[in-house]
Amino acid sequence: MSVRKLKPITPGQRFRVVNSFDAITTDKPERSLLAPKKKSGGRNSQGKMTMRYMGGGHKQRYRIVDFKRTKAGVPAVVKTIEYDPNRSAFISLLAYADGAKTYVIAQAGMKVGQTVTSGPDASPEIGNAMPLSKIPLGTVISCIELRPGQGAVIARSAGTFAQLVARDGKYATIKMPSGEVRLILLTCMATIGAVSNHDHQLIVSGKAGRSRWLGRRPRTRPVAMNPVDHPMGGGEGRASGGHPRSRKGLPAKGYRTRSKVKASNKYIVERRKK
């Protein structure tokens, strides 16, 4: 995957860095795996705005992605690598030997024509999904379940990956993308390899209009508000706003909000670095 810097022939292209999409093999999605995607514009059922800075954007259709990989032992051929407007990673269309078709998150290095499988008998190769009990130690993994049968919830965005560090009893020790070290049950599934489109972080939109295409409306800075609207508002002239905090008054920039009595704290071996 690579990126391209555009020539500044217009103001919007002066700083624009785009994805070259050289890994994409088709621009036509599988129709049977598309679902309508309704947009609320941040309004509730009464039409009142309950979420700010949302609205507009290009019409999108949701791609139904298989996060569970439950077809154990059935080989599948990678038919396409596709763009998905609903996520930063690319997706792959798999055609199973029994005739079924599903979308999965594409791993870096996945190629069209490659055969992938899932289940405890799969080999630890890129794109295969296996229980953590069967994956060799030190392997780079992604699309990890937190509870057995839940479906992948960890390391799903572009370029992310985790690492299987150790196994002890019924738990595996995983080093998460954030740097946190955590225990996860060995029966949880994970996919071998890092997520595709690792250059996503290098992309520069170039202009405000691209945020509008994505459904994001302009965001008002807290220091520009009045005191009634935000704790950082008000003051004479251009006041600094004081200590950074949220609209509800919670300190931002490093203040830890995780509960000290949360049940899942016992599974965290080492907290992420600040």
The pLDDT tens digits of the residues spanning 86-127 come to 999 999 999 999 999 999 999 999 999 999 999 999 999 999
CATH of the domain at 179: 2.40.50.140
Is the predicted pLDDT of residue 134 greater than 80, yes or no? yes
Flag whether 139 is in a domain: yes
Residue 266 lies in a domain: no
What residues make up the domain containing 120? 3-201
Q: What is the mean pLDDT of residues 228-243?
A: 94
Residue 13 placed within a domain: yes
In a domain, 158, yes or no: yes
pTM: 0.92
Contacts of 188 (CB under 8 A, 6+ apart): 131, 132, 144, 145, 146, 147, 148, 150, 172
pLDDT value at position 139? 97
Instruction: Provide the domain count of the chain.
Output: 1
Residue with the larger pLDDT of the pair 76 and 1: 76
